[in-house]
Amino acid sequence: PGVHIAFGHPYAEHTGANWKSKTHIDCVGRDFDIWFDGEQVMESGRFLI
């Protein structure tokens, strides 16, 4: 699995967001190490939970 992070226009018709942006950028990556609240939940793109 990878990680998908988006910045910019929230596509309100799909998300219900009440703000706008002229741009939208998506960032996709693989093999991440991810922690939530001090607990590692992903290492090198593999879920630990």
pLDDT digits (tens, 9 = 90+) for 1-49: 789 999 999 999 999 999 999 999 999 999 999 999 999 999 999 999 8
Task: Quote the domain boundaries for residue 34.
Answer: 2-47
Total structural domains within the chain: 1
Query: Which pLDDT value is given to residue 47?
Result: 94
For tokens 């942006």, the residue is: 21
Does the predicted model carry a pTM greater than 0.75?
Answer: no
Query: Which pLDDT value is given to residue 12?
Result: 93
Spatial distance between the Cα atoms of 37 and 25, rounded to a whole number of angstroms: 27
Spatial distance between the Cα atoms of 43 and 7, rounded to a whole number of angstroms: 24
Spatial distance between the Cα atoms of 24 and 6, rounded to a whole number of angstroms: 7
